């Protein structure tokens, strides 16, 4: 996949438009149509995204990301997009939809086809709707594909719904909408090494500031290290029983694993929440609970894909 951090000329393309902030199931349908259409017309597939969420510029609140830009790029590549254009939203935020279509989309990409989701919009005051693209398709000689709403369990798939579910720790629901397990990446760093004193050594990572935050608690996770996957129990919070500090920690006990991985990058995918964070009176009571948490994971793994 070719990555461009500014506009470039890619003629006669099959073009996909959207922010694609989660690359959830609905987004993937859009991109699969972009790829399918590129093959149909024997041309190249192109997706245009922005470095930051448009709402970061349009509102005073920073949108919490389900995927970092780096994670998103890797996922675009795995989906099979040929060319990814990454633009600065603030450079185009005041352009009228008609100007953006003529001077950006048509000028640089002369698309044979354009695909968007049903609710995609662009241009000043969001004038560039699906209907706008459909009406202009004859003027600029492209075929427009509008992907309809994608619904699971009577609920429309949307990034706002997924964010809300992640903030509730409901990963069964969120993952169904994403089409993959919500994950975080991080470098294993030195911790206080207290957990190993009770027989459950843990790997500590720094939770990216860019990523949406999960609620405090204990989670069943899948840990990927050097392309190998392991079951794990992740604690996100303050570890009140062992050190009772105000230092926020993200630590994972990897089951059936005993290797030195300091400095290595690991991927942690969330399966389900096991319980809320608890303050146990003694280390022995905490140890007993961790044993129960491990038993939960060992049983639950047979019910997941």
Mean pLDDT in runs of 10 for the chain (305 residues)? Answer: 96 95 95 98 96 75 89 97 95 92 97 96 92 97 95 90 96 96 93 64 89 95 95 87 71 91 95 90 83 90 75
What pLDDT, on the 0 to 100 scale, is given for residue 54? 75
What pLDDT, on the 0 to 100 scale, is given for residue 216? 95
What pLDDT, on the 0 to 100 scale, is given for residue 193? 60
CA dihedral (239, 289, 261, 183) positive or negative: negative
Q: Is residue 269 part of a domain?
A: yes
Indicate if 215 and 136 belong to the same structural domain.
no
User: Could you tell me if 33 and 147 are in contact, meaning their C-beta atoms sit under 8 angstroms apart?
Assistant: yes
What distance in Å separates the CA atoms of residue 63 and residue 207, rounded to the nearest whole number? 16
What distance in Å separates the CA atoms of residue 174 and residue 212, rounded to the nearest whole number? 13
Structural domain count, the chain: 2
User: Could you tell me if 26 and 147 are in contact, meaning their C-beta atoms sit under 8 angstroms apart?
Assistant: yes
What distance in Å separates the CA atoms of residue 67 and residue 24, rounded to the nearest whole number? 10
Indicate if 38 and 97 belong to the same structural domain.
yes
User: Could you tell me if 274 and 234 are in contact, meaning their C-beta atoms sit under 8 angstroms apart?
Assistant: no
Q: Is residue 244 part of a domain?
A: yes
Mark which of 92, 121, 155 sits at the end of a domain.
155
Indicate if 250 and 145 belong to the same structural domain.
no
What distance in Å separates the CA atoms of residue 247 and residue 240, rounded to the nearest whole number? 10
Could you tell me the residue range of the domain that residue 85 belongs to? Answer: 2-155
What pLDDT, on the 0 to 100 scale, is given for residue 240? 63
Q: Is residue 170 part of a domain?
A: no
What pLDDT, on the 0 to 100 scale, is given for residue 301? 83
Indicate if 12 and 87 belong to the same structural domain.
yes
Q: Is residue 175 part of a domain?
A: no
Q: Is residue 278 part of a domain?
A: yes
Indicate if 95 and 230 belong to the same structural domain.
no
Q: What is the pTM of this model?
A: 0.92
Q: Domain of 227: which CATH number?
A: 2.40.30.30
Q: Is residue 35 part of a domain?
A: yes
The Cα-based distances of 125 to 52, 95, 122, 161 in angstroms read 18, 9, 8, 24
The Cα-based distances of 129 to 88, 95, 99, 125, 289 in angstroms read 20, 14, 14, 10, 53
Q: Is residue 226 part of a domain?
A: yes
Indicate if 7 and 101 belong to the same structural domain.
yes
Q: 3-class SS at 114?
A: strand
User: Could you tell me if 87 and 47 are in contact, meaning their C-beta atoms sit under 8 angstroms apart?
Assistant: no
**177 half-sphere exposure, CB direction, 13 A CA radius:** 23
Indicate if 147 and 7 belong to the same structural domain.
yes
> What is the bridge-based pairing of β-strands 45-50 and 83-87?
parallel
Q: Domain of 139: which CATH number?
A: 3.40.50.620
Q: Is residue 162 part of a domain?
A: no
């Amino acid at each position: 996949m070719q990555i461009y951090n500014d506009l470039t000329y890619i003629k006669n393309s099959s073009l996909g438009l959207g922010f694609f902030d989660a690359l959830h199931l609905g987004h993937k349908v859009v991109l699969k149509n972009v790829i399918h259409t590129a093959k149909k017309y024997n041309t190249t597939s192109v997706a245009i995204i922005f470095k930051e969420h448009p709402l970061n510029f349009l509102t005073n609140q920073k949108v919490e990301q389900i995927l970092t830009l780096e994670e998103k790029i890797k996922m675009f590549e795995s989906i099979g997009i040929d060319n990814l254009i990454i633009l600065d939203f603030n450079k185009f935020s005041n352009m009228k939809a008609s100007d953006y279509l003529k001077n950006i989309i048509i000028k640089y990409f002369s698309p044979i086809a354009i695909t968007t989701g049903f609710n995609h919009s662009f241009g000043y005051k969001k004038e560039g709707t699906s209907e706008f693209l459909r009406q202009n398709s004859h003027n600029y000689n492209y075929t427009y594909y509008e992907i309809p709403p994608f619904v699971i369990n009577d609920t429309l798939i949307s990034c706002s719904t997924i964010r809300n579910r992640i903030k509730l720790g409901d990963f069964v629901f969120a993952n169904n909408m994403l089409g993959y397990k919500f994950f975080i990446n991080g470098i294993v760093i030195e911790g206080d090494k207290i957990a190993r004193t009770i027989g459950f050594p843990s790997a500590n990572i720094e939770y990216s500031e860019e990523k949406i935050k999960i609620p405090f608690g204990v989670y069943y996770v899948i840990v990927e290290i050097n392309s190998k996957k392991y079951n794990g129990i992740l604690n996100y919070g303050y570890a009140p029983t062992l050190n009772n500090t105000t230092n926020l920690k993200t630590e994972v006990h990897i089951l059936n694993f005993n290797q030195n991985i300091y400095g290595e990058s690991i991927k942690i995918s969330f399966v389900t929440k096991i319980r809320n964070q608890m303050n146990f009176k003694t280390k022995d009571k905490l140890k007993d609970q961790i044993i129960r948490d491990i038993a939960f994971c060992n049983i639950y793994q047979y019910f997941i894909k």
